[in-house]
Amino acid sequence: MRGDRHHMISRLSGKIIRVSEGTASIDLGGICYEVLIPSHLHAILQDKQKIARGDDITFHTIHYIESSPAGGNQVPRLIGFLEETEKEFFEKYISVKGLGMKKALKSMIIPASKIATAVETEDTGGLRSLPEIGKRLATQIIAELKGKVAKFALMEKDKEAAAPVKLRRDPFILEALDILTEQLQYRRSEAEEMIGRALTKNPSLADTESLIKEIFMQQGKKSGIAFRSS
């Protein structure tokens, strides 16, 4: 059942302690919340290193009450998204008749921007390839949402340009990642993106100092970091 939506809890920040199919458990100072997540976030959040490090994560959430078909038990649920824009898309997505909360989450094996692109280009086949979405529902989604999700589709090119590079696990890369996140307080996604750009521009980089210098040259800044002598 879709249930009644509430906005009592609109954002949660805490440490990931467990990720299972369709859910993530977040520890907020000893209180653990179970958050329903879109399918495509499962692999991202299941990063073992992220869990082991106990990295903080922020979810933009939808709080709703799930009712049983018979109208009996009512269970509070939280749905979480890493981006405010994806939460905004989801609220439009579930406005489609026949597309409930859980069905919508299961169908999202790709980011919201890609689904929006399929809607705006009337790609019925692309929508039908998503779990829980058959031909009739795909047609319904396009009929009800075309023209209403264009701004999410336009984000697709920006997302592709900013997509994090899957970094090698070389020690000097991991050390640079630690410097950027721990010393300089960049978000992990930002740090990975900067490292990826530097390595793409200069693949011959092979030590932490050179990598950091290349990153800050691209940023137009001086790092001011003192490196240990090897």
pLDDT for 224: 55
Give residue 45's pLDDT.
80
- Return the pLDDT at 105: 95
Residue 2 pLDDT more than 50? no
Region for 214 from its dihedrals, namely left if φ exceeds 0, alpha if ψ lies in -120 to 50, beta otherwise? alpha
Residue with tokens 């399918």: 39
pLDDT, position 227? 59
Quick check: is 165 in a domain? no
The angle formed by the CA atoms of residues 30, 35 and 38, to the nearest 5 degrees, is 150
One domain for residues 4 and 75: yes
| Residue 111 sits in the same domain as residue 153 | yes
What CATH number should be reported for the domain holding residue 107? 1.10.150.20
For 41-84, write each residue's pLDDT tens digit.
Answer: 887 787 655 665 566 789 999 998 887 666 667 888 999 999 99
- Which H or E element spans position 51? helix 48-53
Higher pLDDT, 123 or 188: 123
Burial class for 176, CB neighbours closer than 10 Å (0-12, 13-18, 19+): buried
Contact 136, 124 (CB under 8 A): no
- Domain membership flag for residue 52: yes
Burial of 54 (0-12, 13-18, 19+ CB in 10 A): exposed
**Structural domain harbouring 178:** 171-219
Indicate whether 107 belongs to any domain: yes
Residue 77's DSSP bridge partners are 64
Same domain, 3 and 75: yes
**In the prediction, which pLDDT does 70 show?**
64
Q: How many domains does the chain have?
A: 3
pLDDT at 153: 82
Provide the pLDDT for residue 52: 56
Last residue of a domain, one of 110, 129, 160: 160
Handedness of CA 218, 224, 229, 230 (dihedral sign): negative
Confidence at 220, pLDDT banded by 50, 70, 90? low
- Please name which of 222, 223, 198 lies closest in space to residue 211, comparing C-alpha atoms: 198
pLDDT of residue 122 exceeding 70, the answer is yes
pLDDT at 47: 65
CB 219 within 8 A of CB 194: yes
In a domain, 114, yes or no: yes
Can you give the pLDDT at residue 230? Answer: 45
Domain boundary, last residue among 82, 97, 126? 82
Alpha-carbon distance of 61 to 81, in angstroms, equals 6
Q: Do 109 and 185 lie in a common domain? A: no
In-domain check, residue 129:
yes
Residue 19 has pLDDT above 90, yes or no: no
Instruction: Tell me which of 82, 103, 123 is where a domain ends.
Output: 82
Contact assessment for residue 145 and residue 93, using Cβ atoms and an 8 Å cutoff: yes
Mean pLDDT of the chain: 82
Same domain, 101 and 177: no
pLDDT digits (tens, 9 = 90+) for 124-183: 999 999 999 999 999 999 999 999 998 888 775 445 444 445 677 789 999 999 888 887
For residue 152, which of 190, 189, 178, 114 has the smallest C-alpha distance?
A: 114
Task: Report the pLDDT averaged over residues 109-129.
Answer: 92
* Whether residue 10 has pLDDT greater than 90: no
Residues 29 and 72 occupy one common structural domain: yes
Maximum separation of any 2 CA atoms in the chain, in Å:
69
Q: Are 60 and 84 in contact (CB under 8 A)?
A: yes
